[in-house]
Chain A
Amino acid sequence: MRIPCPFCGARDSREFVFRGDAQPVRPGGDDAGAMFDYLYLRDNPAGAFEELWYHAQGCRNWLRVTRNTVTHAITDARLARPEPAA
């Protein structure tokens, strides 16, 4: 598998660390229920999936990668943090 890192170019997945679903947003505040949902519940779709990869042996950017979990085809990869203003 090759991850098209927007900073480094297409690189072997060996350089990356996988984390998982990119959708859940960490809730602030004291809502334990929201935190439980964020931390533990997963859609786990069979199909298109937005996921987080860390280019640990490259630029050390966290990436938001769109990959199909059935075909493994990657259709998009971008930095997880917002692009800096030009």
Chain B
Amino acid sequence: MTSSILIGVDVGGTFTDIFVLDAATGRAEVAKVPTSRPDQSAGFLAGIAQRVADLGTVATVVHGTTAGTNALLERKGARIGVITTAGFRDVLEMRRRDRPRTWGLRGDFTPVVPRDLRLEVAERTLADGTIHTPVDLDAVRAAGHALLAQGCQAVAVLFVNSYANPANEQAAVAALRAIWPTPHVASSSEILPEIREFERFSTTALNAYLQPEVSGYLGRLETALKSGGFGGEFLIVQSNGGVMAVDTACRLPVRTALSGPAAGVIAAAYIAETAGFPDIITGDMGGTSFDVALIAGGQAALAAQTAIDFGMVVRVPMIEITTIGAGGGSIAWVDKGGLLNIGPESAGSDPGPVAYARGNTRPTVTDANIVLGRIDPDRPIGGGRLDVAAARAAIDAHIGGPLKLTTEQAAEAIIRVANSRMAGAIRLVSIERGHDPKHFAFMPFGGGGALHAGAMLAEVGLSRAIVPRYPGVTSAMGCVIADMRADFVQTVNTMTTAADGAALAALIGDHLGQGAAMLAASGGAFAARVVTVELDMAYVGQTHTVSVALPVTITADVVTPPTVADITAAFEAAYLRVYNRLLPGGVSRILNLRTAVIGQRPKFDLATLAPTTSGAVTPRTTRRVHMGGDWCDAAIYDRLALPVGTVIHGPAVLEQPDTTILVEPGLMGTVDAYGNVILTRSAA
């Protein structure tokens, strides 16, 4: 019997979410269990066990993980060493000469590799790839032994200009592999053959730093799955929103740095496009932050790099997610000038809002939602009962008193300021990508986002919001949807007119071969394979590049060499799109070649998630909810029971175990054919 069960598992800070899909029947189930600490694998397996009795029936398990992110943020990676070009041991510590924040001048930076574990050897490659000084392999071996004696578990070889010629790095790695007891030896040109030494060294060093930890964690998971009878493919979500095989993840753990959030954006893109809205902005409201991502034409915007923390730069393609400190746990406070502020300080999920009664006494955004009746104190997400009186007292003491407002006015003020900040983040993300936000729909996910969706319509001028059927498990669902993806980069650094089409085709062919091998090794079934090629290009004299999509013809895995005319035309089209005008007489150059090899996984029909109920809809109850400046009697509905086509006019609240949707007066919610709730303005 061929198995048809797919399982997505997203391990977050508080909950581990499970999404189980039977591809044959389209039946989907979700589960939510507490995340286990310190070893997340216990919660992972417990969550799956809630829904699947026999792991032998499962075809695929896809995992979105924060193990790498947490190890970086908490500095819990391995003790590692680096071996680097004489004169350059401090690149990792000097960064790009930045500061932690614009104002204040305080704070320092501790690199993940201390200075005494950064050893120099004689070697030098020039920018054109010429070997100026061959690598001293005796010195490399001596450095390797010294690092082993210091207890290093992994070693990274970081040589200047190795993107232009990796020979010295390769020789050093070969010498080290002969003496190093673990597989954790890597060079910067293997991990990221791209110009800019700090970004390449940082990415390589952080990869080494994560390797022992992440490969250990994934190895334990894989062993546990197998011992439970699992014989299918085990895949890991990358920060770019694609998945990779578990052995690739063990070799390149740095590619999981934003694994969890990326899966959520992938699911959002798929849900929205299916529902007929290829242009959306997602807003994930968590305990401490509000994360915004932009999807245009069904494609999530990718960023070339990100800083996990100050000075901890990871340069791998990743879904671009902008974070502001306005989550449910963000604390509201009045400054010495009498101005109401939200965050950046947060009560997080522990101790959490005042109403959780776990020791926090300062009011949060969630407390304001509770005081206004928008969250049911008797049925909160995660269970239990909420202490409304404590939340009211905290809002009175910290906001209402100083600003001379009633409790409700103060709570409303908190919500309005938080909404304004979220709306600002949405507008800025759109403008930075060159889009008008009015053309986009808003998709809230995470537990709290749908409470604020109506406000985003009003504040940003968005036409509609789409609340997916299971907004609390979007990342787990994204695991099941994501394609397999392998990204490659190579710096070529040439004038466009001097570009060697045959050499570019050979590089693309090499990337394609590696990518195809990775797809084949995963054992997965793919609906199609897609190859995209991009060039980072600029006019000579510019340091910032534009990303140029290069159309290439691939026939039976043979790449037709692009011509200079092809490349020039593609550059001018891309440049015009970004800047509206070309530079007359300007000379262009090519900095990097980027290839993505994508194995498209079979998609499941979202309509199978749609409710099967029918008939008249009646509210479960009514509740006093403060909306539009006053208390009103809002109809409370069980959201998951609403049949397709239902229209609910505000004021109303739609509740489900992992989310609360607020339908404010003047808005209406419509259940579409996929079970999404579409919020729009009511016809006048």
Q: Do A and B come from one complex?
A: no
Hey, which bits of chain B sit against chain A, CB under 8 A? none
